[in-house]
Amino acid sequence: AYGLPILFPQMTELSGKLALSHNYTDAIKAVGGPVGVFSKAYAEAIHRTLAFPKEFMMILAALWVSEFAMTTLDTTNRLARYTLIEIFEPLKDKLPRFSQFITNRWVASAIPATLGILLALTGAWSVLWPAFGGANQMLAAIALFTAAGFLIRVQKQRGLNALIPAFFLWITVSSAMIWYIFIAVPSLMKTSPIQAYIIGTIMIIMLILNMLLIYDFFKSERDVVK
C-alpha cells in the first residue's frame, strides 16, 4: 500500500509490533485501512517537508481519496450502463418491450450497481480483482495502439511516440498474463481451486484477446500500406 515506508513506525506501534510480512492485513487495519495509510502517509510526508499541519493535510488527503473513489464509481457505473445498452441493442426489434425495459437508464444503472454491491458485501470481489490489473493495463495498450493508428493513418506520421510505449505495455501485460496463468494460478489451486479456475479462465480469454489485438493492429496497418 502507498505510504507504508513512511508509516511503518506508527504501524508498528498501533498494531502491537506486528510483523508486517506476516500480518499485513492486520497492520493495514491498524492505521485505518488503505485510505488511512494513504492519508496519514501523505500528511506525514507534507508535514516533514513543508511543515504544514498534519491533521489538516490528513483530512485533505482523505477527501481526495473519497472524491476520487466516488467519481470513479460514478464513471464505471455509467460505462457499465452504456455497455449494457449496447449488448441488448440487437433485441430492440425482436423484443421491443424487454429491450425498452432493460435499456432504461435507471434499470441499466441499477443492474451493475447491484452487482458491484453484492461483490463488495460478499467478498467475491477478491476473486476477480487479480484479473482486473491485466484487463486495466490491456485497455491502456488498446488506447495507445488506437492513438498510434490515428497518428499513422490520419496525421501521416510515424507514430513512434505512441507505438513504442504501446508495444512496451503490450509485452509487459502479455508477459504478466502468461506468468499468472502458469505460475500464480497453479499455486492458487492448492488453496482456492474455484478462484483459480475462474481467474485462470479470465486470464486465458484476455490473453487470447490481447493476441488478437496485436494481430488486428498489424493487419490493419498492412492493409493501409497496400
If DSSP codes are grouped into helix, strand and coil, which group holds residue 32?
coil
Q: Is the pLDDT assigned to residue 48 strictly greater than 70?
A: yes
Residues 70, 151 share a domain = no
Give the domain range for residue 16: 1-122
Whole-angstrom Cα distance, residue 99 to residue 78?
18
Residues 56, 111 share a domain = yes
Residues 159, 115 share a domain = no
Q: Is the pLDDT assigned to residue 15 strictly greater than 50?
A: no
Residues 107, 17 share a domain = yes
b vs e for 187-206, b when ≥16 Cβ sit within 10 Å of the residue's Cβ?
Answer: ebeeeeeebbebbbebbeeb
pLDDT range class, residue 23, cuts 50, 70, 90: low
Residues 1, 106 share a domain = yes
Instruction: Please report the pLDDT score of residue 225 as a whole number.
Output: 52
Higher pLDDT, 14 or 144: 144
pLDDT range class, residue 7, cuts 50, 70, 90: low
Tens of pLDDT along 165-189?
888 888 888 888 888 888 878 877 8
Residues 134, 105 share a domain = no
Residues 98, 4 share a domain = yes
Residues 197, 130 share a domain = yes
Whole-angstrom Cα distance, residue 6 to residue 11?
10
Residues 115, 138 share a domain = no
**Predicted TM-score of the model (pTM):** 0.54
